[in-house]
Amino acid sequence: MKKLSVLLLIVIMAITCVFATGDNEKTATVKQLDFFWWSDGQEGVAMQALIDEYEQMHSDIKINLIEVPFADVQNKIMMSVAGGEAPALTRTTEGISNQLYEAFVDFGEYTDGEALKSHFVSSIESYYVKNDKIISVPSDVTANGLIVNKTMFDKAGVTLPSGPDDIWTWDEFKKALIKVKAANNLEYAIAIDNASHRWSTILYEFGGSFANKNGGNFTSDNSIRCIEYTKALADEGLFNASTWITFEDAGILFRSQLVAAQICGTWCLEPYHNNITEFEWCATYMPVDVKRSSTPGGKQFAVLQDSGVEQEAVDFVLWATEKEQNQRYCEQSLFVSPRLDCAELKYPYRSSDFAVFANELANTGNEGAFDWGYPGLSAAFGVDVTYDFPKVLSGKMTVMDFAEKINKDINDFMGK
Partner 1 sequence: MKKKISIYPTEQKVFPYLLILPNFLIFTIFIIIPFCYGIVMSFTNWKGIGAINFTGIENYIRIFSDSEYWDSIFRTLKYALIYLPIAIIVPLFFATQLVKKIRFRGIYRTLFFWPSMISPIVIGISFRFIFGNSTGCINYLVQILGFSKLNLMTSNAGAIFVLILASVWCGTGGTMIIFMSGLENISTVYYEAAEIDGATSRKKFFYITLPLLKPTMFLVFITGIITVFKTFALTMQLTQGGPGDATKYVVQNIYDTAFSKAQLGYACTQSLILTLIIATFTVFQFKINKGGAINDN
List interacting residues with partner 1 (CB under 8 A).
Answer: 3, 7, 10-11, 13-14, 17-18, 74-75, 78, 81-82, 99-100, 102-103, 187, 240, 242, 245-249, 252-253, 256, 258, 376, 379-380, 382-383, 387-388, 390-391, 394, 396-397
What's the closest the beta carbon of residue 376 comes to partner 1, in angstroms?
Answer: 7
Q: Give the sign of the dihedral formed by CA 343, CA 346, CA 352, CA 354.
A: negative
What's the closest the beta carbon of residue 205 comes to partner 1, in angstroms?
Answer: 26
Residue closer to partner 1 (CB basis): 19 or 57? 19
What one-character DSSP code corresponds to residue 357? H
What's the closest the beta carbon of residue 317 comes to partner 1, in angstroms?
Answer: 20
Check residue 186 and give left, alpha or beta (phi > 0: left; psi -120 to 50: alpha): beta
What one-character DSSP code corresponds to residue 160? P
Residue closer to partner 1 (CB basis): 230 or 359? 230
Distance CA 302, CA 385 (A): 28
Residue closer to partner 1 (CB basis): 286 or 313? 313
Burial grade of 49 (CB within 10 A; 0-12, 13-18, 19 or more): middle
Residue closer to partner 1 (CB basis): 157 or 376? 376
What's the closest the beta carbon of residue 54 comes to partner 1, in angstroms?
Answer: 28
What's the closest the beta carbon of residue 179 comes to partner 1, in angstroms?
Answer: 21
Residue closer to partner 1 (CB basis): 60 or 102? 102
Residue closer to partner 1 (CB basis): 150 or 391? 391
Residues 6+ apart with CB under 8 A from 195: 244, 385, 386, 389, 390
Name the nearest CA neighbour of 158 among 176, 173, 183, 181: 176
What's the closest the beta carbon of residue 103 comes to partner 1, in angstroms?
Answer: 5
What's the closest the beta carbon of residue 405 comes to partner 1, in angstroms?
Answer: 10
Residue closer to partner 1 (CB basis): 48 or 275? 275
Asked if 393 and 245 count as a contact pair (C-beta separation under 8 A), the reply is yes
Asked if 234 and 244 count as a contact pair (C-beta separation under 8 A), the reply is no
Alpha carbon separation from 68 to 38, 65, 74, 227, 264 (Å, rounded): 5, 9, 10, 34, 22
What's the closest the beta carbon of residue 353 comes to partner 1, in angstroms?
Answer: 25
Residue closer to partner 1 (CB basis): 149 or 294? 149
Distance CA 136, CA 101 (A): 8
Distance CA 16, CA 10 (A): 10
HSE-CB at 131 with a 13 A cutoff on CA atoms is 9
